[in-house]
């Protein structure tokens, strides 16, 4: 039979020091919120270790917001309400009060909502240590050069106890082994000791840390890399955890064959996928549910949001791509803007200062310079000259422009939508096309040129 764990995410605290309107669990972190990270790592841990049990968030401060957010994203997370934030031991009491079934799980895991870098690797290691040593409870600890603010680990011949910063004397303050706030306990052990925890300390709070005692069958797992337990209590720590999470994401992609020119200045959100052989230049910002294929190039300063960039595509410097698709071997930029609803066909080319919106371009289309193409469809192998504009907006409504395949649209032309140009058409440079053109047609609409010999001097002004 598989072992069962009740996982408790402590998320009732206020997080005043962050100076955000949102309650701390909903503080932004990469493209998600702080609380998303422990939930997702716990889910991985449950899956990998084939555990049964459930995840419960203890909510309190602004609990409606926290509950709504979690419910919308994770239908299987349960909730316990802590009415008053009387301390972490009190939070755990609220948890056991919320549902009697929690007392039946073999183990109880406690994690804080404000430590987003902790991963399922640390969770598994804790679980293995606890089982190997046959302890009743284990706390994750680490060595910290600057231990201020953390609970200090005071080890005994058997067992250990934790002294919070506020309650520590000068000798205890010198201890560098600190408490991470991550614990795994046999549920029977908690039920035996939790009610004995009092609030006789400087904060007057019920500390969960007091559940660990000398002489009892409890131990610590001291982790080499304490950075994974960094808690977010202020904006500097938020930036630090985001940097650490981002670095982890980049390492993952690098291990899968993605080349970074300067990973420290590259921003990739957690859900982005990138294929092997792709090169990412400095200051690229890839976010949302973006997918980059294999052997693609994403140059300096490009922003890619919720977009699919297929194999062998090239996104040249300073391009912005949102809710769009670039099909295999297509290219965009430098300085291209693909707004939502754009599809670039295979091997199509978008050049500098070209803006596309809800534009579907079939394969081999070229729009090389200074153009706006909106609410448009362009057939394969059509070439659009420099400075072309789809006039799609009449002040009230947007209208569609359709251009067939193998067309040549001369530079400095406009189409006044709604309008349709058939296949194999030729539009002369500087034309304004407001009427449909049938297949194979030629159109020109510009003023006739008048040339007067020797008249220039009249118009050339000299000082």
The option from Ca ion, ligand UD1, none interacting with 390 (CB < 5 to 8 A, set by class) reads none
Distance of CA 112 to the CA centre of its chain: 20
Euclidean distance between CA atoms 278 and 312, whole angstroms = 8
**Where along the sequence are the contacts to ligand UD1 (CB under 6 A)?**
10-13, 58, 60, 82, 85-88, 90-91, 112-114, 150-151, 162, 164, 178-181, 207-209, 231
Between 164 and 380, name the residue whose CB sits nearer to ligand UD1.
164
| Three-state secondary-structure class, residue 237 | helix
Min CB(221)–ligand UD1 separation in Å: 15
Site for Ca ion contains 231 (CB under 5 A): yes
Q: Which helix (H) or strand (E) holds 55?
A: strand 52-59
Min CB(161)–Ca ion separation in Å: 19
Between 91 and 344, name the residue whose CB sits nearer to ligand UD1.
91
Is 457 tagged catalytic?
no
Q: Binding string, 256-285, against Ca ion, x = CB under 5 A?
A: ------------------------------
Site for Ca ion contains 53 (CB under 5 A): no
Closest CA to 245 of 462, 36, 454, 3: 36
Rule CB under 5 A: which of 14-33 touch Ca ion?
none
β-strand pairing of 389-391 with 291-292? unpaired
The option from ligand UD1, Ca ion, none interacting with 30 (CB < 5 to 8 A, set by class) reads none
Looking at 253, 369, 399, 457, which residue is catalytic? 369
Min CB(119)–ligand UD1 separation in Å: 16
- Contact region for Ca ion (CB under 5 A) — 40-48, 70-78, 226-234, 292-300? 226-234
Min CB(13)–Ca ion separation in Å: 7
Min CB(15)–ligand UD1 separation in Å: 7
Euclidean distance between CA atoms 195 and 115, whole angstroms = 26
Select the residue whose beta carbon is closest to Ca ion and give its number: 231
**Max Cα distance, the chain (Å):** 109
The option from ligand UD1, Ca ion, none interacting with 443 (CB < 5 to 8 A, set by class) reads none
Site for Ca ion contains 226 (CB under 5 A): no
Euclidean distance between CA atoms 160 and 218, whole angstroms = 7
Fill in the DSSP letter of residue 291.
E
Whole-angstrom CA distances from 309 to 127, 253, 275, 281, 327 are 40, 16, 10, 15, 6
Token digits of residue 406: 């193998």
The option from ligand UD1, Ca ion, none interacting with 92 (CB < 5 to 8 A, set by class) reads none
- Contact region for Ca ion (CB under 5 A) — 223-231, 345-353, 368-376, 409-417? 223-231
* Torsion region of 188: left, alpha or beta (phi above 0 gives left; psi -120 to 50 gives alpha): alpha
Closest CA to 384 of 347, 415, 358, 357: 415
The option from Ca ion, ligand UD1, none interacting with 178 (CB < 5 to 8 A, set by class) reads ligand UD1
Min CB(363)–ligand UD1 separation in Å: 52
Q: Are the C-beta atoms of residues 160 and 153 closer than 8 Å to each other?
A: yes
CB-based burial of residue 151 (10 Å sphere; 0-12 exposed, 13-18 middle, 19+ buried)?
buried
Q: Are the C-beta atoms of residues 446 and 463 closer than 8 Å to each other?
A: no
State the residues that interact with Ca ion by CB under 5 A. 231
Active site residues: 369
């Amino acid at each position: 039979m598989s072992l069962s764990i009740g996982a408790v995410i402590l998320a009732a605290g206020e997080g005043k020091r962050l100076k955000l309107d949102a309650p701390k669990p909903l503080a932004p972190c990469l493209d998600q919120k702080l609380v998303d990270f422990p939930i997702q790592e716990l889910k991985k841990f449950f899956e990998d270790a084939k555990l049964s049990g459930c995840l419960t968030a203890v909510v309190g401060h602004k609990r409606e917001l926290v509950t709504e957010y979690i419910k919308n994203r994770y239908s299987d997370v349960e909730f316990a309400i802590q009415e008053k934030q009387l301390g972490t031991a009190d939070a755990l009491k609220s948890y056991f009060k919320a549902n009697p079934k929690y007392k039946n799980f073999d183990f109880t895991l406690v994690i804080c909502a404000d430590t987003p870098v902790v991963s399922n690797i640390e969770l598994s290691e804790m679980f293995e240590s606890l089982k190997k040593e046959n302890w009743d409870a284990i706390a994750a600890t680490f060595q910290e050069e600057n231990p201020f603010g953390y609970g200090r680990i005071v080890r005994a011949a058997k067992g250990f106890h934790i002294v919070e910063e506020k309650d520590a004397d000068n000798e205890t303050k010198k201890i560098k082994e600190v408490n991470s706030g991550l614990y795994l306990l046999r549920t029977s052990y908690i039920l035996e000791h939790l009610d004995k925890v009092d609030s006789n300390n400087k904060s007057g709070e019920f500390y969960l840390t007091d559940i660990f005692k000398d002489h009892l069958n409890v131990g610590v797992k001291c982790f080499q890399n304490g950075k994974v337990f960094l808690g977010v209590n202020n904006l500097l720590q938020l930036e630090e955890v985001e940097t650490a999470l981002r670095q982890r994401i980049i390492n993952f992609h690098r291990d899968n064959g993605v080349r970074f020119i300067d990973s420290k200045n590259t921003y990739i959100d957690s859900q982005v996928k990138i294929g092997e052989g792709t090169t990412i230049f400095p200051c690229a910002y890839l976010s949302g549910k973006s997918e980059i294929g294999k052997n693609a190039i994403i140059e300096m300063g490009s922003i890619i949001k919720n977009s699919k960039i297929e194999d062998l595509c090239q996104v040249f410097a300073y391009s912005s791509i949102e809710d769009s698709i670039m099909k295999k071997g297509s290219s965009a930029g430098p300085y291209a803007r693909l707004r939502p609803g754009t599809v670039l066909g295979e091997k199509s080319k978008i050049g500098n200062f070209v803006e596309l919106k809800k534009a579907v371009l079939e394969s081999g289309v070229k729009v090389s310079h200074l153009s706006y193409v909106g609410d448009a469809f362009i057939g394969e192998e059509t070439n659009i000259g420099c400075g072309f504009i789809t006039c799609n907006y009449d002040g009230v409504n947007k209208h569609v422009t359709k251009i067939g395949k193998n067309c040549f649209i001369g530079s400095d032309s406009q189409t006044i939508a709604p309008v349709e140009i058939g296949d194999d058409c030729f539009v002369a440079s500087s034309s304004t096309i407001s009427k449909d053109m049938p297949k194979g047609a030629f159109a020109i609409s510009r003023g006739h040129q008048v040339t007067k010999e020797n008249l220039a001097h009249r118009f050339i002004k000299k000082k």
